[in-house]
Structure 1
Amino acid sequence: MVTSPVRIGSYRIERLLGIGSFATVWLGYDAALGARVAIKVLAENWSHDLRIRERFLDEARMLWQLNDERIVSVHALGELPDGRPYSVMGWADGGSLRDRLARGPIPTRQATPLLRAICDGVAVLHDHGIIHRDLTPGNILFRSRREGVEQVLVADLGLAKALATASGMTARAGTPGYMAPEQDEPLAIVDRRTDVYGLGQLGIRLLGAPVRRKPDGPVRLRPGVPRKVAEVLRTATSQRPAGRYRDARAMAAALDRATATKPIARAARVTMVFASAAAVSVLASDTVGRRFSPESGTAVDPTGRISVRLPAGWQAQAGRWSGPALLISPDPARWRTDDAVRGAFLWFTRDGGSPDGFVARIPHADCTPEPVRHSRLAGIDWVIAAYLCPGRRGPLVEAAATGLVYVQIAPPANNPSAFVDTLLAGVRVRSN
């Protein structure tokens, strides 16, 4: 039984919040500020282990340096009379995700945005070169805000470490069930994709299925979970790190695409290309249709800001997407559902990432990548990446450029690169 101290430093102790493997957390009260804080104290049985002590202090230093509302904050460090260190942190008055799951399932309409918010918090760590290594429901906390919306917090970085200093000594650290397979291999490389696996397992837990234990087995979720969300979780929990999203930000972007109310054409079966940032500005029109110029065999969107020269035998079809867009194919109606039909989808995107970053965050776990290439065609710079996928005739190509024209192409199997370049050379964009 843990005996409650009366005070820790200048803080009056009100109650025990939790006990972990390495530390005990108390709820303290700062009389001068009239504020409650969480005080994390190194456990007595680890007080003489210099390695654990340094890990405890490292966590506090990392939290202090991050200073982000999505990460539990540290206000001060101190030391008890017996020499044990403690850190004074912001109090998450909304409890933990573990507590909420213990009370029952979280509705799907709340669970998916919650997973997205957790991804945002982990992305902060990844942006600073930190991997968490132990993403579990107990390490996701909630804090009330004045505007009435809860803030989701990522906590307990005691197992986190700067990527530059990650080593085999701590590779095994993690919680079974949420721990990536490579964390169980002493010499394996642990990187951001390790946390992506943990995020995927959190998503599976949130959306109603027990933690999956059979390697690459089916992800069984509750009825009503969108198929594309299930696909995101399956990718995130791939047994091979190379099959996962590269980091938390990439997984967040995948969730955004999976939950979009007006999804773009199927990204898993087509070529994707974006113009360079110098070519044209982002457009905001929400009305999409078609307009043809029979003399030139060109399809033009209703705003007149994006057009494409049609390959022989191809036609355009109207659609309802967010922004100017065109769908072209020998059979546009079948192209939407039949992978054997060739086609292309042209659209303006508001994606804010870099071209290379966009390509990197769309995984194809079972495909072999070809070298990324850059082509300048008809005054527009294109970034193009190709994948060779099992059971598929011809390559799958993906590309991107910051916030500009977006093209998906399912090219013919015969000389696909030449077809792609010819099609892109016929694309025209007009600035505002």
Structure 2
Amino acid sequence: MTAPLRIGPYAIERLLGVGSFATVWLGYDRALDAHVAIKVLAENWSHDLRVRERFLDEARLLRRLEHERLIRVHAVGELPDGRPYAVLAWADGGSLRDRLAAGEIPAPAALRLLGEVCAGVSVLHRHGVVHRDLTPGNILFRSAGPGGTEQVLIADLGLAKALAAASGLTARAGTPGYMAPEQDDPGGVVDTRADVYGLGRLGVRLLAAGPSNANPSGPESAGRAPEIRLREDLPPAVAAVLARATAHHPADRYPDASTMHAALARASTPVGRPLASTVASGPAGSAASSGSARREPSPRPSRPYRIRRAAAAVVAVAAVAAVGAEPGDTGSARQVGGTYTTGPLTVALPAGWSAAGATWAGQYGADGEPEPALVMSPQPRRWAADPRLPGAFVGLSASTAARATPAGFLAERTHGDCTPAPARTTRQAGIEWTVVAYRCDQGRRRIIESAALHHGRPALVYVQITPPSDTTTDFVDTLLGGVRVR
């Protein structure tokens, strides 16, 4: 294949990949001094109007969704021979397929990676879109900042369809081994549960013990639960999550990626310990499930695979990360004189609220342990799963304070489908808070993102609030004023 010298205004440097429907080139934008990926419809499909329209649909869909967990589209164009092309953000970290080919990913990092992929697919499901082809080649990595941090991106939506039309596509679509059984049935109904199956197969590939278990070999027999044996350093409950996700019948699977992620978060905590799982479009909000066994050490993430939490937690939207129990906490919510204390955090509880202690998964201190957090709500253990409940997540992070200001931290945690008000500052109990309020569509609650630097220790305090519907700014400020760190 001869490389073109230019595609539109972009100088072509090299070939990135060749697929069934398209070729991808690395281009260079001299005006912006930036690299881009240019996806060009394959020549043998250029006269198939159906395939051509599907190619353009992908670009339109990504442009419409415009989310940091999805590959972004900068522009579309047409070659002199009439073939369309799309100019995409370049995923300079390559694909999951590349990394798996290079060797096994450490189990704790692989488990966190699966959670990030679930969060990305949840964005699609929230907008009524089924991907239909979740494979390692369609999971990409992009550098996100200093220290080797990365974003995990969902790519190649060429087979994705709106839910209203997904089951009407008669062409066989998907990759064997990751494709749900109903996708191979011309009369099958294809919905978000097909993507859950693909996520389950990705999980098996990432987490299973031994090549025979890890290699996807197609759908299991109807009526027989898949047998999944995980690597020894993974929580056994994760196998049950993957088994349900890859069930033959769609009705036996999780209904969507968000629900699967919540289950994965619960299963990822050490056996018998409480868990607070985030339901969201980015890192950490939570509710907990109780337990009483000894807490095992949290594995420190392997540096090459440490993943940046790219967006903030939004309650009842899409599960993002798990947070484990605070050492010594029994997992039961408790209220003492209107306050709650766990580790260095103390909060004043609004009337009728209680709290549960946790640690903040995805945020690690210098010792490699997750940093402290808590959840408070009228029902803290249900907060992550029930969008009707008000509540708040409070996290403390010294590692974040070392790299970001409060305003910069909040800028990383935007909510793509919500409208932010201008940031404001408020001084409460001697702490200067930066506060951004989001108003979301589809009848969901408001989301309040807030952060501050603690004046007594080098740590950032992060509070995400979904306030009661009838409250004002005073409720938020009072809640922030009740956060103490010792």
Tell me if both proteins adopt one fold, taking TM over 0.5 as the criterion. Answer: yes
1:182 and 2:177 are equivalent in the alignment: no
TM-score under structure 1 normalisation? Answer: 0.64
**Residue equivalent to 1:223:** 232
Paired amino acid for 1:110: A
Offset at residue 20 of structure 1 (A): 0.4
1:62 aligned onto 2:61? yes
Equivalent residue letter for 1:16: L
Tell me, yes or no, if the aligned pair for 2:108 and 2:234 is still in contact at 8 Å.
no
1:211 corresponds in structure 2 to 216
Any conservation in 2 of the 1:125–1:132 contact (CA below 8 Å)? Answer: yes
* Offset from partner CA, 1:240-280 (integer Å, 9 cap, x none): 111111111111111111123532248xxxxxxxxxxxxxx
Determine if contact 2:334/2:355 at 8 Å carries over to the other structure: no
Letter in 1 for 2:381: T
Structure 1 residues 16 and 288, CA, compared in 2 at 3 Å: closer, same or farther? Answer: closer
* 2:264 is equivalent to residue 259 of structure 1: no
Q: Is the 8 Å Cα contact of residues 285 and 323 (structure 1) preserved in structure 2?
A: no
Deviation of residue 350 (structure 1)?
6.2
Question: Structure 1: which 4+ aligned runs deviate by more than 6 Å?
Answer: 284-290
Alignment check: 8 A CA contact 1:289 1:302 kept? no
Query: Are the aligned partners of 1:288 and 1:301 in contact in 2 as well (CA < 8 Å)?
Result: no
The amino acid that maps onto 2:215 is: P
C-alpha displacement of 1:403: 11
Rounded to whole Å, the distance in 1 between the matches of 2:260 and 2:171 is 22
Give the CA deviation at 1:35: 0.2
Residue 84 of structure 2 aligns to which amino acid in structure 1?
P
- Give me the whole-angstrom Cα distance separating, in 2, the residues matched to 1:70 and 1:302: 38
| Distance of aligned partners of 1:82 and 1:302 in 2 relative to their CA distance in 1, 3 Å threshold | closer
Residues 351 and 403 of structure 1 are in contact (CA less than 8 Å); yes or no, is this contact kept in structure 2?
A: no
User: How far 1:222 sits from its partner (Å)?
Assistant: 2.1
Residue-by-residue CA offset, 1:67-107 (whole Å, 9 max, x unaligned): 11110000000000000000000000000000000011111
Q: Secondary structure at the match of 1:257?
A: helix
Task: Give yes or no for contact 1:94–1:144 (8 Å, CA) kept in 2.
Answer: yes
Are 2:91 and 1:100 equivalent residues in the alignment? no
The TM-score, its normalising length taken from structure 2, stands at: 0.57
State the alpha-carbon separation in 1 of the partners of residues 188 and 207 from structure 2: 30
Paired with 1:300 and 1:265, the residues of 2 have a C-alpha distance of 9
Alignment of 1:415-430 (within 5 A): none
Q: Which runs of 5+ in 1 are unaligned?
A: 267-283, 291-298, 307-320, 325-345, 358-401, 405-431
Are residues 256 and 403 of structure 1, via their aligned partners in 2, closer, same or farther at CA, if it must alter by over 3 Å?
Answer: farther
Distance 1:351 1:33, change over 3 A: same
Counterpart-to-counterpart distance in 2, 1:104 and 1:16: 23
Change (3 A) 1:288 1:153: closer
Contact 2:197 2:246 in 1 (8 A): yes
Which residue does 2:137 correspond to in 1?
A: 138
Compute the displacement of 1:352 (Å).
3.4
**Structure 2 counterpart of 1:90, one-letter code:** A
SS in 2 for 1:126: helix
Name which structure has the greater RCO, CA cutoff 8 Å, separation 6+.
1
- Percent identity, aligned pairs only, is 61
Instruction: Please name the residue that 1:390 is paired with.
Output: none
Tell me how large the CA RMSD over aligned residues is.
Answer: 3.1
Distance 1:349 1:37, change over 3 A: same
Give 5+ residue unaligned stretches, structure 2: 209-213, 275-288, 292-324, 340-353, 358-377, 390-465, 469-482
Q: How many residues align?
A: 301
